[in-house]
Structure 1
Amino acid sequence: MTVIVPVSGFVTAGSSVTLPSRALGTVTGMSSWTRPHVENSEVGQELSGSITAASRARVRAPITVTPCLGTSSVADGSRQIDVVSDTIYWPLEKGTYVETSPFGMRISPITGTLHMHEGVDLAAPMDTPLYSVADGKVVEVAENYFAGAFVKIKHERADGTVFYSVYLHQYTEKILVHEGDAVKAGQPIGAVGTSGWSTGPHLHFEIHDAADKVTDPMAWMKQAGAIHLGEDACQ
């Protein structure tokens, strides 16, 4: 289709030019996340009102992936996929504790003899909340004369790496989990106590490798990129 438009200037009054017609509102040569670049034939289909299944697929809602826990609904109709968190948290909130005795050989404050200290002591006020360092399953809740009441959790990271975390010197009545429970990263599991071989309120915290052998918990946590509660975007 052509449009004959009379013009003036360097041409005579009887001259004319031919202009291509264009439907108002039609965008050509442009693309976006909802409307990729289309060929002229596709534009023709749109102008004629013919919308194929492929055309409809191009304007479906985008998929949003978030590393946060849980599920949520989105009012605009977009689809959201929630994935399991692989975040590692420190077992106590920032500012609530002080490291008082590191991992390694030391003179026991109880017996006065040299022995292996298999964890790290984090002094904190009595009843300060303790949190699971990662998603996992509680494999032991017990009590003995040395450790007092304690919780042991088995964890498996996204890459398949298995490790264990252990929380000693609690009081049984303050422990919030049971053997067999599934726990989430950052979930409260108990509170700081001073049961067992203890000279004051503190958490004796251990990390065990996949073979259930002790390793330096502070070094392991730092290498794993541990953060404190409230320091990630999901909280």
Structure 2
Amino acid sequence: MSEAKIECPLPSRRQIHGHSDLDASTPRKRQSHVTRRVARVGVLAVLTATTVAIPLSGFVGAQSSVELPARALGVSAGDESWTTTTVVAQSQALEGSVTAASRTRVRAPLTLNRCLPSAQTAAGNRDVQVRSSEIYWPMPAGTFEITSPFLMRVSPISGQLQMHEGIDMAGPLGTPLHAVYGGEVVEVSENSRSGALVKIKHVREDGSIFYSAYLHQYMDQIKVRVGDTVEAGQVIGAVGNNGWSTGPHLHFEIHNSNDEPIDPEAWLKEVGAVYFGEQACS
């Protein structure tokens, strides 16, 4: 008779040792997997921080000197303009910031000396009496802000230190421009630097002569031609953003009898200029 092989219901010694080895290796594998994952996360964090930090450190700060190429602005640096610029060596006092000399903000008075209205017209508007002896500001009160005065400054366009021979009066595009005094239009022209401009020769009652100029307009909004006689306060054009301009504004100049630029803001205050609509109403 052959003896039947009887299976032992209990695990063998080999099987017992095999399970022990498997159980011991599983935590090590899990620990190794977690370690690799943490390492990958750390590497990604370092790469992310580097990617963000490097571009931020490359930004141009407020005190950095930047020269904007005229070609990028669609103009030629060699074009002539009615306004002359005197380029001098850059002084150490102003070399800290390109815009340091052009950050001045002088608000025009927002309160007018209101006149008493008389009978209104059929359209409901008041007739304003314009006095030929008055000298007017070129823009109505409350419509502008003087953003750059008459002084040596670093040009925001060329990056050069030069004389700013007028004042910049920032205001809404299309704001009417008024002749500061009666006179004769002696120039209406346009170039890449000044945009479209109007220049007027004025002769005051005492015989003294001065000139006024209104720059950065658009030619199709200018309402006068060379040879025209204009009255004080007459609308001659509108605020534009044409030529070397960083935003809608009027570059306004006053020249003396020798056609030399003087400080327009100081001159307007000295002669007691008024705002259009400020004087007596009829």
TM-superposed CA distance for 1:113, in Å, is: 1.2
TM-superposed CA distance for 1:96, in Å, is: 0.3
Counterpart in the other structure of 2:280: 233
Compare the two structures and name the one with the higher strand fraction.
1
Distance 1:168 1:204 in 2: 5
Identity rate, percent: 61
Q: Secondary structure at the match of 1:221?
A: helix
Give CA deviations for 1:48-76 in whole Å, capped at 9, x if unaligned: xxxxxxxxxxxxxxxxxxxxxxxxxxxxx
Q: Which has the higher contact order (CA 8 A, sep 6+)?
A: 2
Question: Number of residue pairs matched?
Answer: 153
Q: Secondary structure at the match of 2:265?
A: helix
Counterpart in the other structure of 1:178: 225
Deviating 4+ runs (over 3 angstroms): none
Are residue 158 (structure 1) and residue 197 (structure 2) matched? no
Distance 2:132 2:230 in 1: 12
Q: How does 1:129-144 map to 2 (within 5 A)?
A: 129-144=176-191
1:194 pairs, out of 241, 265, 270, with 241
RMSD across aligned C-alpha pairs, in angstroms? 1.3
TM-score, length-normalised on structure 2?
0.53
Structure 1: segments with no counterpart, 5+ residues: 1-83
Counterpart in the other structure of 1:100: 147
Q: Secondary structure at the match of 1:160?
A: coil
Distance 1:85 1:158 in 2: 10
Distance 2:163 2:281 in 1: 38
Distance 2:192 2:151 in 1: 21
Are residue 128 (structure 1) and residue 178 (structure 2) matched? no
TM-superposed CA distance for 1:85, in Å, is: 1.8
AA at the equivalent of 1:167:
Y
Distance 2:156 2:233 in 1: 31
Structure 2: segments with no counterpart, 5+ residues: 1-130
2:254 pairs, out of 192, 196, 207, with 207
Question: Which of these two proteins has the greater Rg computed from alpha carbons?
Answer: 2
Compare the two structures and name the one with the higher helix fraction.
2
